Amino acid sequence: MTVSAAADEAAQAGSVKGQTAPGLAATAERPTLVLDTNILLDVWVFGDAAAAPLISGLPQGQWRWLATPPMREELARVLAYPQIVKSLAHHQINPQTVLDQFDAHAEMVAVAAKASVTCKDPDDQKFIDLAVAHHATLLSKDQAVLCMAKRLLALGVRAGAAIHLIAP
């Protein structure tokens, strides 16, 4: 489904900006995820063994992975960091290949409204806002996100670094 078709479907279902229409957030078969940039690096740059479920499951559409344009912009910016450029060269990975993977597997949605909780790291707020708006599981390794796990759980968001949060 194209981004515009998904937006039309959500509008017809009665959703408003920053919220998901009932029944569109997740199903037992396809849970909804929000993936922080550090998780994406584990998947497409470092090939972290702990990320194996995502490495195999994202191309198969096992999850509904939500992202926004600012999240893609952040990934593009991080891929240009000197230490990441070295890792990309070491693993013989073109940064555009990583962005192509993002484009192929992420469902682009509108930027979510500010959540009722605030992250200490402003760069991570966009991930929290989106996860709260869609009651998604948020995967991150960022301590500023992880320390909010209990508060996020009260808002319907499971947050953690461990991939086991998404294991069946």
Q: pLDDT tens digits for 13-27? A: 333 333 333 333 444
pTM for the whole structure? 0.80
Strands (E), the chain: 32-35, 64-67, 107-108, 137-139, 159-160
C-alpha radius of gyration, the chain, whole number: 15
53 burial level (CB within 10 Å; 0-12, 13-18, 19+): middle
CA 41 to chain centre: 12
Q: Which residue has the higher pLDDT, 26 or 6?
A: 26
* Location of structure tokens 């390794």: 141
Question: For residue 61, what is the DSSP state?
Answer: T
Among 63-67, 151-155, 164-168, whose mean pLDDT is lowest?
A: 164-168
CA distance 113 to 111: 7
Q: Which residue has the higher pLDDT, 54 or 97?
A: 97
Question: pLDDT value at position 25?
Answer: 42
Angle (CA) 74 146 43, round 5°: 50
Q: In the predicted model, what is the mean pLDDT of the chain?
A: 83
Mind listing the pLDDT tens digit for each residue in 100-110? 999 999 999 99
Burial string for 140-159 (b: 16+ CB within 10 Å, else e) reads bbbeebbebeeebeebebbb
Q: CA torsion sign, 107 to 60 to 44 to 92?
A: negative
Question: pLDDT value at position 30?
Answer: 83
DSSP string, 23-57: TSS--SSS-EEEE-HHHHHHHHTS--GGGHHHHHH
